[in-house]
Amino acid sequence: MVTLTIDGKKVTVPETFTLLEASKKLDIYIPTLCYHPKITPFGGCRLCIVEIKGMKNPVTACTTPVSEGMEVTTTSPYLERLRKTILELILSDHPNDCMVCEKAGDCTLQELAYFYGIREMRFEGERRRYTKRDDNPFIERELEKCIMCGRCVRVCAEVQGVSAIDFGYRGFDLKICTPFEKDLSCEFCGQCVAVCPTGALRGKMWTQKGRQKGVKEVDTICPYCGVGCNITLHVRRNEVIRVTSKEDTVNEGWLCVKGRFGYSFISSPDRLTKPLIRIAPKGCEAADPRRAGESPYPLSPTSYESFREATWDEALDYIAERLKEIKEKYGPSAIGALASARCTNEENYLFQKFIRAVIGTNNIDHCARY
């Protein structure tokens, strides 16, 4: 443990702490853009500069380790002037179209520009321009808004282990690139979108669905698999318009492509809301007229069989009856069961127990069995 002084206050922290972490412990706020608590410090945005007694130039709090007896100043007119210059420089190469930006209200850059009261542009000059691309349904890259904090690059490499993107080019032309500048073609987990402090990366499905106002956040669990990630649904007018995850959850805020972007089923007209019982095969030729042409997917031959709506009681009774009949007539091995990865571990456990102990067969399998 080392003891140091930050803005006149003494604090004792482990020697592995950085100045930023130590300041956080004292509840001292230091502005940051490229810093993210879950990934390696970068030191690129330079906003977290602080002064250390005895050192000529300010240092970045996010990268500087604490040491015994250090005397740190996190704010002074001089430091604030430097921070303001940095923000002015960033904004001198930023579209500043907060009016229509999806990130408005939730944007770190916007918030800092507000707190530093940046109105006039001291530095006019060239701005980056890029043509839009990326033929994928999930992630929109608006590179003009990128501030090169590198959070996306690091989260992709360090958290997801994919390294689908990295820095390319130099100087003012620096940009976040895919290999050979091809279209983004990764697993689309959207971790990069989650950590982007500006509107440079966003979900394509979120476009013009609503920002902060009138949006209710509902914490729930992702229904896709047994991992049980915590997710937060952003609901506006009873419609889920976005899914995020909070940092202090079991999944630390990270999600996969399904959890983050696979929520359209919620209000899909294709969604099953009641049990359906299949009508006997002789009715096969009559396709359900209600479903024709609605589904984006070609109907499989079995889809042409008709179903009728039923109550849960009726459906379960029907299943129990048929299982019994089959077991009696053909024996337990005539029955096979498939479990689902979308159920919890407990549900899957119970299901195989039911098949093995009640039905009496080992014909049980699971979609996630490799």
Which residues bind to other proteins, rule: CB under 8 A? 41-46, 49, 57-60, 63-65, 81-82, 85-86, 89-90, 92-93, 122-126, 147-148, 150, 166-167, 169-174
Nearest CB to other proteins, comparing residues 58 and 199: 58
Task: Quote the crossing angle between the two packed helices 77-91 and 108-115, to the nearest 10°.
Answer: 130
Distance CA 66, CA 17 (A): 6
Q: In this structure, how many other beta carbons lie within 10 angstroms of the beta carbon of residue 61?
A: 29
Q: Least Å distance between CB 125 and other proteins? A: 4
Q: Least Å distance between CB 109 and other proteins? A: 11
Nearest CB to other proteins, comparing residues 15 and 325: 15
Q: Least Å distance between CB 12 and other proteins? A: 20
Nearest CB to other proteins, comparing residues 80 and 314: 80
Q: Least Å distance between CB 71 and other proteins? A: 16
| SS3 assignment, position 99 | coil
Distance CA 241, CA 209 (A): 6
Nearest CB to other proteins, comparing residues 139 and 148: 148
For residue 154, give the nearest of 34, 47, 39 by alpha carbon: 39
For residue 235, give the nearest of 252, 255, 219, 256 by alpha carbon: 219
Positive or negative, the CA dihedral 200, 206, 207, 212 is: negative
Q: Least Å distance between CB 59 and other proteins? A: 7
Distance CA 288, CA 275 (A): 16
Question: Is there a contact between 107 and 197 (Cβ–Cβ < 8 Å)?
Answer: yes
Nearest CB to other proteins, comparing residues 164 and 364: 164
Nearest CB to other proteins, comparing residues 37 and 105: 37
Nearest CB to other proteins, comparing residues 60 and 306: 60
- Cross-strand bridge partners of residue 220: 231
Nearest CB to other proteins, comparing residues 34 and 231: 34
Max Cα separation, the chain?
Answer: 89
CA atoms within 13 A on the CB side of 5: 8
Nearest CB to other proteins, comparing residues 65 and 336: 65
Q: Least Å distance between CB 178 and other proteins? A: 14
Q: Least Å distance between CB 227 and other proteins? A: 32
- Would you put residue 231 in left (φ > 0), alpha (ψ -120 to 50) or beta? beta
Distance CA 23, CA 35 (A): 14
State the alpha helices, DSSP H only, in 287-330: 312-330
Which DSSP letter does residue 159 get? I
Q: Least Å distance between CB 42 and other proteins? A: 8
- Would you put residue 92 in left (φ > 0), alpha (ψ -120 to 50) or beta? alpha
- Would you put residue 143 in left (φ > 0), alpha (ψ -120 to 50) or beta? alpha
Q: Least Å distance between CB 28 and other proteins? A: 20
